[in-house]
Structure 1
């Protein structure tokens, strides 16, 4: 079943249920509330950032984890220590929570708390990093947000599990190597919840438009691109009936995909919980 708002007067809610299509009239106040929630909830992205997702050799990398709005160098949100942070390589899982160190991250709007971790990558292959935030109370919407973020770093161009389904509560499983995409190419993924596809999942897309300064723990001052309109800051798309989506990446750099509210948990502390799946991918310039 899925829902769609259309714009006659009075407004109509179309409900698709298998082969049947019915509609119900809605009050203007309900429509206004729905629009407010769908727009104000946009653009929260938990980052697990390192500059390069494709490395020639192993060694130590640093991961930074601000919860922010990367396309606009926007507000850095104050979140508690994550519930989980772990590394998967060749089916071996390593807990990284003890490695996290608190930092402050600065955007164009504010400075807020975040974490960083230094991780040593040994051998060739894929390294899957998963970061599950503590629920964050979004006061403007009176809801909690919890994001489960996946960043995949490859060493030596040897694939060893980049498309593994980890069975997370909320997860985007890549069907395209997330670290080996040309600018102008496309990324395809499947939105899943506990291993099952999520039909028609709503997905937000943002470009890391302000290059992070790893030494200063801050977004850079200059943007990489100038969006033609505000609609391009946070773009929205929907997965198909099988939970699959494809998005073309017109610019080199890192891109984030966030599938909203796809996890099984819908409530926290008596309020609505949006349990989101996030994945980061990198497009490379054609030279």
Structure 2
């Protein structure tokens, strides 16, 4: 009963939210690592499908990676940058992920809540992204212990374009049924050297955001139509609903990368 009540509340928050596909990114071009070294990460709050408006990020509250159950604190590598989208510049961050051994590295970002003045609410998109060295799977399908998160049911670093991707949405470790999932594509990939967006390769979809709904077990499935980085967000799925006396949308976000089968 509590799960149904929570799902109804989350769905109400989603339908009340604006239909702009703002997504928190933890971006690096290739999640499959061949050699040991520091992987550069760009942390950007943006509209990546249409190369739209970029939003100023506050200092992240937490940034870490999980590797074979061990937590790697990445906050010491954070530094501020300015990101340039097509129409504006915004405060963003960069960091590095140290990769040494073969296996899965699950990177999790908890950004500071962002105040959306047009709606008079705060937004906090808790974001996961996955890297792998050596093609050895070591835990990509395990929860990271976040307040709300997606747990992938397909290996997220090498999805085949034309196949499907599934994930389970959790809030405080419990599945969230009936939640609305917004879907985004990075059409304008950031340049890692200039911190600027390239030209968008596709435009915004007619009819608003792409959307899927989780089933009774909190699982959604989406057909991946083309190669590239795909993001999924569950708005209002987190347990926290207020920040500094205003409404808070605490969202779960996951990014995957799809490849053409060659």
Relative to structure 1, is the Cα distance of residues 34 and 93 closer, same or farther in structure 2, using a 3 angstrom cutoff?
closer
Answer yes or no: is the 8 Å Cα contact 2:14–2:235 preserved in 1. Answer: no
Number of the residue aligned with 2:70? 92
TM-score scaled to structure 2, two decimals? 0.92
Give, in angstroms, the shift of residue 43 of structure 1: 1.1
In structure 2, do the counterparts of structure 1 residues 264 and 34 end up closer, same or farther at CA, with 3 Å as the change threshold? closer
Q: Does 1:224 align with 2:212?
A: no
Partner of 1:18: none
Inter-partner Cα distance in structure 1 for 2:90 and 2:133: 31
5+ unaligned residues in a row in structure 2: which ranges? none
Q: 1:69 aligns with which of 24, 47, 50?
A: 47
Distance in 1 of aligned mates of 2:46 and 2:29: 17
Q: How far apart, in 1, do the equivalents of 2:69 and 2:30 lie?
A: 22
Cα distance in 2, alignment partners of residues 107 and 34 from structure 1: 26
Q: Provide the rounded CA distance (Å) in 2 between the counterparts of 1:66 and 1:116.
A: 9
Are residues 1:267 and 2:242 paired? yes
Q: Equivalents in 1 of 2:35, 2:131: separation in Å?
A: 11
1:160 corresponds in structure 2 to: 138
Q: TM-score, normalised by structure 1?
A: 0.84
Does the 8 Å CA contact 1:45/1:69 hold for their aligned counterparts? yes
Answer yes or no: is 1:183 the counterpart of 2:183: no
Q: Which has the higher contact order (CA 8 A, sep 6+)?
A: 2
For this pair of structures, how many residues does the alignment match? Answer: 255
Name the SS for the 2:49 alignment partner: helix
Counterpart mapping for 1:124-273 below 5 A: 124-221=102-199, 223-226=200-203, 229-231=205-207, 234-273=209-248
CA deviation string 1:168-202 (max 9, x = no partner): 11100001000121111111000001211011111
The partner residue of 1:280 within 225, 246, 255 is: 255
Q: Is the 8 A contact 1:164 1:173 kept in 2?
A: yes
Task: Look up the SS of the partner of 1:98 in the other structure.
Answer: helix
